Amino acid sequence: MEEKNFNEISVIDITRKAGVSRISYYRNYNLKEEIITDYIDETLQDFLQKLQSIEFDIYNNMRMFFESNRRNKQLIINLVRSNMCNLLFERYKNYFQ
């Protein structure tokens, strides 16, 4: 997504970059967006796991949340560029509801 708009990226582009076959891709995903949502889910699960291991403190919890987002800064920038912020917001909504 740093090189092309999301809509211009083909499944062939993805499989070449990942070094997997199209069969492997379709075995795991129906839509390209699922790759992004899976990654967001992994990062949110990691964040929540870390959050559960510490004592509740709103300041530190929010700091950890923003640090987690900073580590994913490029993904967030790419989602904004591709008008796909809704993917991020939907995943956040599911986890933090």
What percent of the chain stands above pLDDT 90?
A: 73
Distance CA(35)–CA(61), nearest Å, equals: 27
Three-class secondary structure of residue 97 per DSSP: coil
How confident is the model at residue 95, as a pLDDT? 85
- pLDDT above 90: residue 54: no
> CB neighbours (10 Å) of residue 40?
21
How confident is the model at residue 37, as a pLDDT? 95
Distance CA(3)–CA(75), nearest Å, equals: 12
What are the boundaries of each domain within the chain?
31-96
Three-class secondary structure of residue 86 per DSSP: helix
CB neighbour list of residue 42: distance below 8 Å, 6 or more residues apart: none
Model confidence pLDDT, tens digit, residues 16-43: 999 999 999 999 999 999 999 999 999 9
What pTM was estimated for this model as a whole? 0.83
How confident is the model at residue 79, as a pLDDT? 94
Q: Which residue shows structure tokens 């929010």?
A: 62
